[in-house]
Amino acid sequence: MRAIRPQRSGARTLLAVCWAGAVAVMALWWQNTPVVHVDLAEWLIGAGRLTGLLGGYTIAIVILLMARVPALERRVGSDRVTRWHAMSGRYAVSLVLAHLLLTIGGYSVQANTGFVEQTVIVVLDFPRMVEATIGTAILLLIGFVSARAVRRRMRYETWYYLHLLTYVAVYLTFWHQLAAGAEFVANPMARTAWYVLYGAAGLLLLWYRVLAPIRLNRRHRMRVEKTVYESPGVVSVLITGRRLHRLGAQPGQFFRWRFLTDGLRWSSNPYSLSAPPRPDLLRITVKANGEHSEAVAGLRPGTRVWAEGPYGAMTAARRSQEKVLMIAGGAGITPMRALFETLPGEPGDLTLLYRAGKTEDLALWGELRRIASARGARLLYAVNGPDGVRPEITPQRLRELLPDIDDHDVYVCGPPGLASQSYEALRAAGVPARRIHHESFEM
């Protein structure tokens, strides 16, 4: 077997670039602050300027992470980019709120006025403050509805379309930054750098979230060919199109799918490819787990499909060892089934462990058995006992199954509980963290 060279993660590089940008923003503030006053009003205003600059910078990072740039998706991972987007959004809202409170508080102390009175003065008299106030209110609303406790009580579509107001908020607050920011008013280089920062993030967003999907769907013109019942609550959707091999999709990746029919056209959901892509056919396998996934079973042949992608980094490029263990549970079997068929390997190199509640829940089991037989791979399953007791994945059990487990790469895909339990057991069994490959979108 040829030497395997794993793809290096770009996470550290991206973090380093983002922190370097934050340091540059702080240096800009420091350059424009010749004296740090001990006076309370000046201290509050100075802190307000700094948090405003950092808040504006973080908003640009939020836009960049929202753009679904393929290089970041592959090198960093869709799950990590998604979590970083959510985290940077929380930082941005916190910094903008701190900027607002510190600045108005500083002017209030300086003018010896009340906080509410000074707020009215700032909003009405400062340049571009009416727009900035509306933009800030929108950002705070988005931060509120994105809180986990609130988001769980909302329909996904409602949350998603409210989230799109972020673009309006960014537009409104951007002009205030340039018009009122002391660092930009008399510094053409700083203004140019800010234009470049926001312009680059905006162009990436426009290309990868709008123009590239339009181009993809006009070129490939995908439609539903048919749906196939796989197991209770699980169906496969076969999707045809033109020159689908030019999508560049790899086993283990997913697309965001929008089915242009009643009840489904206004939302897109991520579903992994459950078979290697063919020039004329893609397949996804969906487990009913909500209104959208339940409605997928009723798709009619000929339904137009709008897809965005491919996304995801849990592909063969992550692999560094000849031997591979795959652990799947629930809907997580879909990318694993595609990898099980296509990962290079000699007989005995590949092992798939499938976790399910009961044997009838083992979707695609017939296909998996045929693949295992043809490739000389090991196929194992773990289901609940007659009394409902769940078989635990433990370090001891893993070593019994694979005495050389520490020489394996491991791909894990399944519910958060299974992923967490598997990760802890694998680490205790001696598998290095860098060789445990998993994508999770829990935030």
Residues 334, 55: Cα–Cα separation, whole Å: 40
Task: Give the tens place of pLDDT for each residue, 49-71.
Answer: 999 999 999 999 999 998 999 88
What is the model's pTM?
0.83
CA 182 to chain CA centroid, nearest Å: 35
What is the dotted CATH code of the domain comprising 316-438?
3.40.50.80
DSSP secondary-structure letter at 330?
G
Q: Which of 283, 280, 284, 282 is nearest to 242 (CA)?
A: 280
Q: What is the pLDDT of residue 5?
A: 41
Residues 201, 273: Cα–Cα separation, whole Å: 29
Instruction: Tell me the CB-side half-sphere exposure of residue 379, using CA atoms within 13 A.
Output: 19
Give the residue ranges of DSSP H helices in 376-438: 395-401, 416-428
Residue 252: CB partners within 8 Å, gap ≥ 6? 272, 273, 312, 314, 315, 316, 335, 338, 339, 411
Domain boundaries, the chain: 11-216, 221-311, 316-438
| CB neighbour burial string for 347-374, b if at least 16 within 10 angstroms, e if fewer | eebbbbbbbbeeeebbbbbebbeebbee
Q: What is the pLDDT of residue 1?
A: 37
Please spell the DSSP secondary structure of 396-410, one letter per residue. Answer: HHHHHH-TTGGGEEE
Decide: 111 and 81 in contact? Cβ < 8 Å. no
Per-residue pLDDT of the chain (443 residues; tens, 9 = 90+): 333 344 445 788 889 999 999 999 999 999 888 777 778 999 999 999 999 999 999 999 999 998 999 888 878 878 888 889 989 999 999 999 999 999 999 999 999 999 999 999 989 888 888 999 999 999 999 989 888 888 888 887 788 888 889 999 999 999 989 988 888 888 899 999 999 999 999 999 999 999 999 999 999 999 999 999 988 889 999 999 999 989 999 999 999 999 999 888 888 888 999 999 999 999 999 988 777 778 898 999 999 999 999 998 889 988 999 999 999 998 899 999 999 999 999 999 999 999 988 888 899 999 999 999 999 999 999 888 777 677 888 999 999 999 999 999 999 998 888 899 999 999 999 999 999 998 765 54
Residue 392: CB partners within 8 Å, gap ≥ 6? 421
Looking at domain 221-311, its CATH class is mainly beta
Q: In one letter, which amino acid is 282?
A: L
Residue 238: CB partners within 8 Å, gap ≥ 6? 224, 225, 226, 227, 228, 281, 282, 283
- Residue the block writes with tokens 């426009």: 206
Q: Token pair for residue 238?
A: 């076969």
The total of other beta-carbon atoms located within 10 Å of residue 70's CB is 14
Q: Token pair for residue 220?
A: 């490939």
Domains 221-311 and 316-438 share a fold: no
Decide: 334 and 271 in contact? Cβ < 8 Å. yes
Decide: 243 and 278 in contact? Cβ < 8 Å. no
Q: What is the pLDDT of residue 442?
A: 54
Q: What is the pLDDT of residue 441?
A: 55
Residues 365, 352: Cα–Cα separation, whole Å: 11
**Distance (Å) of CA 44 to CA 124, 162, 217, 220, 394:** 21, 33, 52, 56, 54
Residues 143, 90: Cα–Cα separation, whole Å: 7
Which backbone phi and psi does 100 adopt, to 5 degrees?
A: -60, -50
Residues 328, 272: Cα–Cα separation, whole Å: 13
Residues 105, 111: Cα–Cα separation, whole Å: 10
Q: What is the pLDDT of residue 330?
A: 85
Decide: 179 and 128 in contact? Cβ < 8 Å. yes
